Amino acid sequence: MTAHSGTAQPGPAQAPILTVTLNPALDIATATDSVVPEIKLRCDAPQVDPGGGGINVSRAIDRMGGRSTALVALGGGTGVRLATQLAEAGLAVLRLEAPGDTRFSLSVTDRGTGQQFRFVLPGPQWGPLDVRAALDALGTSAPTGGLVVLSGSNPPGVPPAFAAMAAARLAGTGSRLVVDTSGAALAAVAAARDAPVELLRMDDAEAAFLAGAPLPTRADTADFAARLAASGAARTVIVARGSDGNIIATPEGRWHVAAHRVPVVSKVGAGDSFVAGYVLGLARHWSVADALGLGAAAASATVMTPASDLCHPADVERLFAEREVTPV
């Protein structure tokens, strides 16, 4: 276990953070007695929150006393409602015009089993001009000496190589790019060599797919992460191993951070909260181990909250004090 050398409270200075959400969603969460087919399911009054990877990162950063600006593609009436919620939350927002209505996302909890069902819609179709506008906005908004977090799925029509294109656009700006994505977009970043990102994050299933083999142990995961970093795809690679915590490989070494044993109410936003905690630690100029600890605390605090709510500050502070980070 690392020495408890910091707290989750803000330090004297924080580098600027820009989060990027191309495919945001208005997250609707509800519950019903049992999820079964063919009948009308009477549900609770919904909880509605702004959602999407980058938005959730900004929301969690705000919960932890940090600051960020959210670059968000919004469109239609749903986009107006989402923008209103972001403003009410006090988040700084840069609006990018989306080519269609912002999507909805639905999560339904089955009270009988405790299982959560998540229904994710695709979002509007983008064209080449929309992609170019997003890259231009990213290049204009990226903070010098700061961090840019590109998180979440790509809308239809956005090429899988968008993150690599974003890394190329940011080259020479002094901004460091953090990418948390999946599927074809993740594979494109992992295969890139000429525009490496600062940090690439994925889960264990995605890592095993890229590795072409199972990664049953922490050492296996750390070896894969180190190989991917050494290939030039990213300076740092993080692999989430679910209940077994997270592995990180950096030029300075490899570490494991344990997941906290907490009651799981909802997993919505847990991965985004981890990214928020880790990036906020980096922005506060913390060590890798302490930044990892804040990420794990934020993720565990988030799964303790219902629906699409995110981490509560008191829970993050308590869990951060209990963090377990060890070399691999």
Across 88-145, the runs of DSSP E, i.e. the strands, are: 92-97, 103-110, 116-120
Q: Is the dihedral of CA 293, 298, 299, 300 positive or negative?
A: positive
* Tally of CB atoms within 10 A around 192: 21
* Cβ–Cβ under 8 Å, residues 78 and 102: yes
pTM given for the model: 0.91
Q: Which residues contact 238 (CB under 8 A, 6 or more apart)?
A: 199, 200, 201, 202, 225, 246, 247, 248, 278
pLDDT tens, N- to C-terminus, the chain (328 residues): 233 345 565 555 899 999 999 999 999 999 999 999 999 999 999 999 999 999 999 999 999 999 999 999 999 999 999 999 999 999 999 999 999 999 999 999 999 998 989 999 999 999 999 999 999 999 999 999 999 999 988 999 999 999 989 998 998 888 999 999 889 999 999 998 876 799 999 999 999 999 999 999 999 999 999 999 999 999 999 999 999 999 999 998 999 999 999 999 888 889 999 999 999 999 999 999 999 999 999 999 999 998 788 999 999 999 999 999 999 9
CA distances, 286 to each of 137, 197, 239, 279, 290 (Å): 29, 19, 20, 10, 6
Selection from 141, 214, 219 nearest residue 173 by Cα: 141
Sequence spans of domains, the chain: 17-327
Superfamily of domain 17-327 in the CATH hierarchy: Ribokinase (3.40.1190.20)
* Cβ–Cβ under 8 Å, residues 303 and 264: yes
* Cβ–Cβ under 8 Å, residues 322 and 252: no
Q: Which residues contact 221 (CB under 8 A, 6 or more apart)?
A: 204, 207, 215, 239, 241, 247
Residue with tokens 């924080």: 14
CA distances, 321 to each of 4, 8, 64, 74, 224 (Å): 6, 8, 14, 38, 29
Q: What pLDDT shows up at residue 1?
A: 28
Backbone φ, ψ for residue 159 (5° rounding): -65, 150
Residue with tokens 């600027």: 16
Q: What pLDDT shows up at residue 268?
A: 86
If DSSP codes are grouped into helix, strand and coil, which group holds residue 82?
helix
Could you tell me the two tokens for 281? 């630690």
* Tally of CB atoms within 10 A around 109: 22
Q: Which of 27, 62, 203, 272 is catalytic?
A: 272
* Cβ–Cβ under 8 Å, residues 23 and 51: no
Q: Is 220 a catalytic residue?
A: no
* Cβ–Cβ under 8 Å, residues 115 and 109: yes
